[in-house]
């Protein structure tokens, strides 16, 4: 397996392209790159091939800090669309597929779709059978994104982020860091400190009120997950932020394949806010990182 740094590099003198099919990148510690999927044949992602005697130096994931990921001048605002009600997951996939094709063709603006789903589990390309604890509890859908199992349901805001990286930066690692910065800024608006972790994609909250772990570490819960896919440099899938979901629903899976940590939500942390209030903050913080938005045309 190439280094994490190599997964994000483009052509050099010592490279070989991956096969022309979706490839999920994983590390042995399960979670470091577990929420990413690239399609090398279209996006031109390749891994640097090195010999065992001369491994490529790993670039720490957290070394990539993206406070701004704006589009080039003249690109126009990102369409901001809120879907009312509980959207069936297959419908969301169809909406994303259609809009991603339109963005790639230059016939539609970049888009953020804000949705809630009925209770369900989604399986990324790296999902492991033993991480599906209760297969009968909720419907399970293959997501087509990177990563492992995730839960979606009422009280969780899912934001599908459909952006053209050619208009911004052809750098998936920087894009993921920008998504994390967006979530962290949103949480900060509610006086919650969200943090990134080197080996765990997503946003985490320390729970200092709980007993320390056996190794002396402070307990941590995941409050937001990230799972993306890139096709022809257009991104789809995105983030999920736990506002006030039933946290017991996560017990049917091992979220993102990461054991030893729990999940939390704004409500669990004592922040009782409505979904429209969260959406307003999400939009403000999105614009701070990604640039202007415009209401979707009805």
Q: State the catalytic residues.
A: 256
> Rounded CA gap, 264 and 255, in Å?
12
Using the 8-state DSSP alphabet, how is residue 236 labeled?
E
> Rounded CA gap, 282 and 114, in Å?
10
> Rounded CA gap, 255 and 9, in Å?
28
> Rounded CA gap, 57 and 197, in Å?
19
Tokens of 129: 């059978």
| Dihedrals phi, psi of 291, to nearest 5 degrees | 110, -175
Residue (of 132, 126, 121) closest to 38 by Cα position:
126
Tokens of 204: 């985490």
| Dihedrals phi, psi of 51, to nearest 5 degrees | -85, 155
Burial of 74 (C-beta count, 10 Å sphere; 0-12/13-18/19+) = exposed
Contact 221, 264 (CB under 8 A): yes
**Contact residues for 38 (Cβ-Cβ < 8 A; gap 6+):** 7, 22, 23, 25, 45, 146, 172, 229, 230
Write a three-state SS string for 26-82: CCCCCCCCCCEEECHHHHCCEEECCCCCCCCCCCCHHHCCCCCCCCCCCCCCEEEEE
């Amino acid at each position: 397996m190439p280094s994490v740094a190599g997964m994000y590099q483009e052509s050099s003198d010592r490279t070989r392209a991956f096969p022309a099919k979706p490839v999920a990148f994983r590390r042995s510690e399960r979670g470091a790159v577990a929420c990413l999927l690239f399609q090398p044949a279209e996006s031109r992602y390749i891994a640097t091939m090195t010999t065992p005697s001369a491994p490529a130096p790993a670039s720490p994931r957290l070394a990539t800090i993206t406070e701004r990921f704006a589009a080039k001048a003249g690109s126009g605002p990102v369409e901001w669309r809120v879907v009312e009600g509980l959207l069936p997951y297959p419908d969301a996939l169809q909406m994303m597929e259609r809009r991603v094709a339109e963005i790639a063709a230059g016939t539609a603006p970049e888009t953020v779709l804000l949705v809630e789903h009925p209770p369900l589990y989604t399986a990324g390309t790296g999902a492991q059978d033993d991480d599906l604890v209760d297969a009968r509890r909720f419907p399970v859908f293959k997501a087509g994104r990177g990563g492992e199992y995730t839960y979606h349901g009422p009280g969780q805001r899912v934001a599908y982020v459909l952006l053209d990286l050619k208009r911004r930066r052809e750098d998936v690692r920087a894009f993921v860091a920008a998504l994390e910065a967006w979530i962290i800024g949103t949480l900060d608006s509610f006086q919650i400190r969200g943090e990134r972790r080197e080996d765990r994609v997503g946003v985490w909250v320390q729970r200092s009120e709980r007993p320390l772990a056996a190794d002396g570490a402070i307990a941590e819960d995941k409050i937001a997950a990230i799972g993306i896919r890139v096709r022809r440099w257009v991104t789809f899938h995105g983030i999920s932020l736990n506002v006030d979901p039933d946290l017991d629903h996560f017990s049917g899976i091992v979220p993102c394949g990461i054991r030893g940590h729990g999940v939390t939500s704004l409500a669990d942390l004592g922040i009782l806010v409505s979904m429209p209030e969260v959406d307003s903050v999400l939009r403000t913080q999105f614009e701070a990182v990604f640039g202007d938005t415009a209401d979707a045309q009805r």
